[in-house]
Amino acid sequence: MEEFQVARGGGVWPAAGVLTPNKLGKRGDQIQRLFSTPAEIFIVQYHGQIDEAVIEQMQGWAKLKSLSNCTRIWYGVIDGDDTRKLLAAFPKQFGLQ
């Protein structure tokens, strides 16, 4: 696939705690909308902990999209720990130097 889509939400304040499906979009449908875009790789990134239900929803939508499009679909999450590791490993790329 030659194009990619970026779906960006309004963000969740750090005090909001663990990222759960109901915090993804006004109606909790942001994962569904993300998987409706014409892409093969889907990532959710959050500065804190990501609830298992988010990963389970992503897995379900990835399976459905894979079956309906007859293609391999990739998905993953980048939680707060992973985000900090990426920022430390690539500070220049993130504009931190």
Strands 41-45, 74-78: parallel, antiparallel or unpaired by DSSP?
parallel
Residue pair 16/23 in contact by the 8 Å Cβ criterion: yes
Averaged pLDDT, 46-55: 95
Asked whether residue 85 carries a pLDDT value surpassing 70, the answer given is: yes
Return the pLDDT at 26.
86
